[in-house]
Structure 1
């Protein structure tokens, strides 16, 4: 009788033991959330306040936060923009920012679905030798005008039309270098990327040329975001993760927090 009773108790506990075993073998949801990968992404080095040489910037924070939502730790590799763009075009880097669209990128790079920010393509002139003013709302320069641009940057169709109409483009590594060259009268004009969140004089002050150069007129507006390589094996996967991560930081308020940190006095809709 005693043996039968013992077997009966063991039989009663078998379902419970089985459930415990299955629970121990099953993957933990919390553990799954804690697992992550590390991804290296290139970013330009001379586009403050979006992306600066020290790895800080509004765009840098946005990209890192979006991937963090997807349990991906991003390591930013800060390089000149031309190198950033070249690496993503040839597939040695999974992504590069801040990029704008050009037809030549078709089939090579796919941009994120949402812009990170908007920029103006502005012509600056020397105060001593001002440029002829075009008609309001147009972007024209006399043929032969030497214009400073940044190596590798994507510019608006209006800017492309300037070159087609006889403008002579000379490229350097940054807008700051071009403003210095313009102040030294080594250029006739400089094509500078600005934004509505800062004064037009922001970069002229950074270059030390605020008493020698000034804004002349606008040549279009571009969106800037992160571009993913279509030849890199992780390019499309990284794009999908980023797009979803960006959607999440929009919904949970993280994007607004980043904006408030960098632009405390400006509304979010000005990005």
Structure 2
């Protein structure tokens, strides 16, 4: 009888100790899992609103982060000028960069994701007081010797490449906005601007303060834009496979639609 009462008095004291130990073990396990969660650093351009903005936000940023998160990977975005983003992935110093469009120079160095994140339009702008010769409908042609501003290291359509082959002079600038300002000052005769169907065509003219001096002239083609992965970086190909599968999953489970509706509530989901 005495031993039974002693055991009854002892167990109430042991139970809280066991509970405390169990909670500590669970907490430690959670901390270890958090510490060992895979992370991946990816570069993103800093001047492609609404896709990727200078503050690290944007539709494309959210899509990339969500696709990797679906696969259990935490992405750390490094926001940089596009020229640096492109150089770092081409040289294999980072696993991936976005937003990129396919160019022949990428062969053997970069592989793009299977699905585009968005589409961009290569639009030619002219000075209102010195309009360009009007090309035939659907054509992208300019007189040889025409000086056209482009953004350094951006990818352009095959029609733009053909312009250069025909004798048009393409001069680099640091951004579309700077090119438009140079056009307004008549330092360029035309400018190639990356536009999208979510904003008015003169959105960048408004942003650059040149909307009273420049205007859209004609289009030089469309491009798919997505994330590019280095074929020489040790994490490149695996990251590509993870992203493609993650993108497929967020499209299937509705997460991609949620991102789209959050950024573009006025647009019907395709």
TM range (shorter): 0.7 to 0.9
Q: Residues of 1 paired with 2:163 and 2:51: CA distance?
A: 26
Residue 93 of structure 1: how far off its partner (Å) = 0.8
Q: Residues of 2 paired with 1:243 and 1:144: CA distance?
A: 43
2:152 corresponding residue in structure 1: 151
The count of aligned residue pairs is 241
1:15 corresponding residue in structure 2: none
* DSSP-derived class of the 1:166 partner: coil
Unaligned runs of 5+ in 2: 1-28
2:83 corresponding residue in structure 1: 82
Residue 268 of structure 1: how far off its partner (Å) = 2.7
Q: Residues of 2 paired with 1:52 and 1:167: CA distance?
A: 31
Q: Residues of 1 paired with 2:73 and 2:36: CA distance?
A: 9
> Following superposition of structure 1 onto structure 2, how do residues 22-171 of structure 1 map, counting pairs within 5 Å?
36-171=37-172
* TM-score normalized by the length of structure 1: 0.86
2:238 corresponding residue in structure 1: 237
Matched, 1:262 2:263: yes
Q: Residues of 1 paired with 2:269 and 2:204: CA distance?
A: 22
Residue 228 of structure 1: how far off its partner (Å) = 0.1
Verify the 8 A CA contact 1:46 1:52 in the aligned structure 2.
yes
Residue 34 of structure 1: how far off its partner (Å) = 9.7
* DSSP-derived class of the 1:267 partner: coil
Residue 137 of structure 1: how far off its partner (Å) = 0.5
Verify the 8 A CA contact 1:119 1:194 in the aligned structure 2.
yes
Residue 252 of structure 1: how far off its partner (Å) = 1.1
Q: Residues of 1 paired with 2:183 and 2:62: CA distance?
A: 32
Residue 35 of structure 1: how far off its partner (Å) = 5.6
Q: Residues of 2 paired with 1:261 and 1:172: CA distance?
A: 33
CA RMSD of aligned residues (A): 1.7
Residue 198 of structure 1: how far off its partner (Å) = 1.2
Residue 53 of structure 1: how far off its partner (Å) = 1.0
Q: Residues of 1 paired with 2:116 and 2:262: CA distance?
A: 19
* DSSP-derived class of the 2:52 partner: coil
Verify the 8 A CA contact 1:80 1:173 in the aligned structure 2.
no
Matched, 1:208 2:206: no
Q: Residues of 2 paired with 1:187 and 1:257: CA distance?
A: 41
Q: Residues of 2 paired with 1:211 and 1:111: CA distance?
A: 38
